[in-house]
Amino acid sequence: MNSRGAAAFLKDSIPLTDLSASGPFEGYDLLRRGFTSVKSELMPRHPLELSEKNFQLNQDKTNFDTLRNIQGLHATLKLQMEFRAVKQVQRLPFLHSSNVALDTLRGNDEYIGFEDILNDPSQSEVMGEPHIMTEYKLGLL
């Protein structure tokens, strides 16, 4: 068969990207999303759970409001700019980021908490394949 005949034959074939499941037929991706919890879907959440989940955000809002009342709007805007710049700097997805600059801005660098002692990244259960995690972060997968 000549090259023209092979090209005509391949032209009618279905590309592999069209065979991927999407929408309601997409399978659950256990590697990226983790295990599902049926209990959290069935049981109502505790009222304090949302408050505890948003504690740092509420604390930052309170500190910004206090700073704005004491020093003016410019101090709050400058600090928010610094927070945003520090949050954008991250390590690769498979490496643990200590966020020292963010802790310093918040004033948490002098305190020793639960996560400082019992949150050893080398013993983490979420460590994954570095290449897959980087490609997913870059949007290649």
pLDDT tier at 24 (50, 70, 90 boundaries)?
low
Q: Tell me, what's the pLDDT at 25?
A: 64
Q: Tell me, what's the pLDDT at 121?
A: 63
| Residue 32, pLDDT above cutoff 90 | no
State the chain's mean pLDDT as an integer.
Answer: 77
Give the DSSP H or E segment for 87: helix 73-88
Most confident range (mean pLDDT) of 44-53, 63-72, 116-125, 126-135 is 63-72
Angle value at C-alpha 26, between 25 and 32, nearest 5 degrees: 160
The pLDDT of 107-114, averaged and rounded, is 84
Dihedral, CA of residue 114, residue 115, residue 117 and residue 122, to nearest 10: 160
